[in-house]
């Protein structure tokens, strides 16, 4: 059999499986409140985004990551959105929908702003509607997150600094001043710069992840000394990885596999999040931890093996049929893409 025919057969089989699965899984039509002690068990969710770090944390020297998540739950093969670029993925992490829904990319997020009338609000917007007075904050290096993703009219404390070390100084100062945000988002940029410059096989890239690990440790320690981890869920993630020679956007595992690591009082100790986990699931996890129902449009879900008392949710492709077709096809394309 020619390889091309085999590819077409595999794609057709996957599509058929998806359509059958979609037919037997009933659509969720109403908002869902969870019968789980972890639902609403947290007052704070900290999302620490290390741009471009992919799933490479276990490959390099990361003493802070290792100590923080020694009793946490992790997955280093979390699937990104396609394309495996920053705009699509940070936007999916914050909105809980696929790129095919929010359509936010690197260019548009620097040009077009959104407000609370959007069909696909960020977790900031959803929590603001539920908690009008609570503090929400986003401290980033890449300003597109604050400019083009977070709604302009929901009173999020926003900060931008193009130096990761100074950004971390400002983050620690923010907590030492007594701020207690319900959601705190961070985007650190140096790993992505090293990936573009030297590739994911380089010493420079590994060193940049170790440097970012230092920032992760400083932020975590600031939370601990201010008592915020008693009711805090601490998440480290990335938007994509890098090819061995540098760059991203397509289908290799180095580009498309990324990290979710979580630590908190009800997180499974030593857990491995299930194999269907997507980076956009962080939106569902964030709302769940704070006790806020997700919106009916979200296609994010709670992974298995994350919270001790909570089963994993099925992914409901009714909410995003295009994603339901394209995701398995991309999974097959990834399998057939040369990996090195
Ligand atoms: Zn990126």
Query: What CATH number does the domain containing 261 carry?
Result: 3.40.720.10
- Tokens encoding 189: 């940029």
> Contacts by 313-316 with C-beta closer than 8 Å and gap 24+?
313/284, 314/25, 315/276, 315/278, 316/25, 316/27, 316/28
Ion ligand 1 — residues with CB under 5 Å?
A: 51-52, 86, 192, 239
Distance (Å) from CA 85 to ligand 1 centroid: 6
Residues 21 and 159 in one domain: no
Residues 18 and 119 in one domain: no
Contact 334, 252 (CB under 8 A): yes
Residues 175 and 130 in one domain: yes
Distance (Å) from CA 33 to ligand 1 centroid: 33
Structural domain includes residue 87: yes
- C-alpha to C-alpha distance for 272 and 305, rounded to whole angstroms: 6
**Length in residues, the chain:** 340
Distance (Å) from CA 286 to ligand 1 centroid: 21
What pLDDT score does 320 carry?
Answer: 83
Distance (Å) from CA 227 to ligand 1 centroid: 31
What pLDDT score does 337 carry?
Answer: 77
Distance (Å) from CA 120 to ligand 1 centroid: 21
Contact 217, 64 (CB under 8 A): yes
Distance (Å) from CA 212 to ligand 1 centroid: 14
Structural domain includes residue 278: yes
Residues 171 and 287 in one domain: yes
What pLDDT score does 33 carry?
Answer: 56
Distance (Å) from CA 188 to ligand 1 centroid: 10
Distance (Å) from CA 58 to ligand 1 centroid: 19
- C-alpha to C-alpha distance for 262 and 69, rounded to whole angstroms: 7
**Residue-range definition of the domain harbouring residue 264:** 38-315
What pLDDT score does 12 carry?
Answer: 60
Distance (Å) from CA 32 to ligand 1 centroid: 32
Number of folded domains that form the chain: 2
Start-to-end C-alpha separation, the chain: 26
Structural domain includes residue 137: yes
Structural domain includes residue 33: no
Distance (Å) from CA 187 to ligand 1 centroid: 9
- Tokens encoding 54: 């992919």
Residues 155 and 291 in one domain: yes
Residues 114 and 216 in one domain: yes
In what helix (H) or strand (E) does residue 220 lie, and over which residues does it extend? helix 203-225
Contact 7, 336 (CB under 8 A): yes
Distance (Å) from CA 193 to ligand 1 centroid: 9
Structural domain includes residue 31: no
Residues 332 and 281 in one domain: no
Structural domain includes residue 290: yes
Structural domain includes residue 32: no
Residues 91 and 8 in one domain: no
What pLDDT score does 29 carry?
Answer: 38
Residues 339 and 261 in one domain: no
Distance (Å) from CA 154 to ligand 1 centroid: 25
Structural domain includes residue 190: yes
Three-state DSSP class for residue 75:
strand
Residues 293 and 167 in one domain: yes
What pLDDT score does 195 carry?
Answer: 98
In what helix (H) or strand (E) does residue 195 lie, and over which residues does it extend? helix 190-198
What pLDDT score does 23 carry?
Answer: 43
Distance (Å) from CA 170 to ligand 1 centroid: 22
pLDDT tens per residue, the chain (340 residues)? 456 666 666 666 666 555 545 444 444 433 445 678 899 999 999 999 999 999 999 999 999 999 999 999 999 999 999 899 999 999 999 999 999 999 999 999 999 999 999 999 999 999 999 999 999 999 999 999 999 999 999 999 999 999 999 999 999 999 999 999 999 999 999 999 999 999 999 999 999 999 999 999 999 999 999 999 999 999 999 999 999 999 999 889 999 999 999 999 999 999 999 999 999 999 999 999 999 999 999 999 999 999 999 999 988 777 888 888 888 888 888 788 776 6
Residues 1 and 93 in one domain: no
Distance (Å) from CA 192 to ligand 1 centroid: 6
Residues 210 and 263 in one domain: yes
pTM of the model as a whole: 0.90
């Amino acid at each position: 059999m020619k390889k091309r025919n085999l590819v077409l057969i595999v794609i057709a089989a996957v599509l058929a499986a998806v359509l059958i699965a979609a037919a037997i899984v009933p659509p969720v039509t109403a908002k869902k409140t969870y019968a789980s002690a972890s639902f609403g068990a947290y007052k704070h969710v900290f999302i620490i985004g290390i741009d471009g770090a992919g799933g490479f944390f276990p490959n390099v020297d990361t003493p802070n990551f290792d100590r923080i998540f020694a009793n946490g739950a992790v997955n280093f093969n979390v699937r990104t959105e396609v394309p495996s670029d920053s705009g699509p993925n940070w936007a999916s992490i914050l909105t809980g929908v696929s790129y095919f829904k929010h359509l936010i990319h690197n260019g548009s997020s620097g040009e077009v702003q959104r407000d609370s009338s959007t069909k696909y609000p960020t977790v900031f917007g959803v929590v603001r509607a539920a908690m009008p007075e609570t503090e929400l904050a986003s401290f980033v290096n890449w300003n597109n997150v604050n400019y083009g993703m977070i709604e302009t009219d929901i009173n999020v404390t926003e900060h931008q600094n193009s130096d990761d070390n100074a950004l971390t100084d400002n983050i620690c100062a923010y907590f030492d001043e007594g701020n207690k945000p319900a959601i705190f988002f961070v985007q650190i940029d140096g790993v992505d710069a090293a990936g573009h410059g030297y590739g994911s096989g380089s010493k420079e890239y590994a060193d940049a992840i170790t440097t970012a690990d230092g920032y992760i440790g400083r932020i975590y320690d600031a939370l601990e000394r201010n008592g915020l981890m008693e009711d805090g869920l601490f998440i480290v993630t990335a938007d994509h990885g890098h090819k061995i020679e540098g760059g991203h956007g397509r289908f290799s595992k180095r580009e498309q596999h990324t990290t979710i690591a979580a630590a908190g009082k009800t997180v499974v100790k030593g857990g491995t999040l299930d194999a269907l986990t997507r980076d956009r699931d962080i939106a569902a996890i964030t709302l769940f931890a704070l006790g806020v129902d997700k919106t009916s449009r979200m296609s994010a879900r709670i992974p298995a093996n994350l919270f001790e008392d909570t089963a994993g949710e099925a992914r409901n492709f009714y909410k995003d049929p295009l994603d339901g077709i394209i995701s398995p096809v991309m999974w097959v394309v990834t399998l057939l893409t040369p990996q090195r």
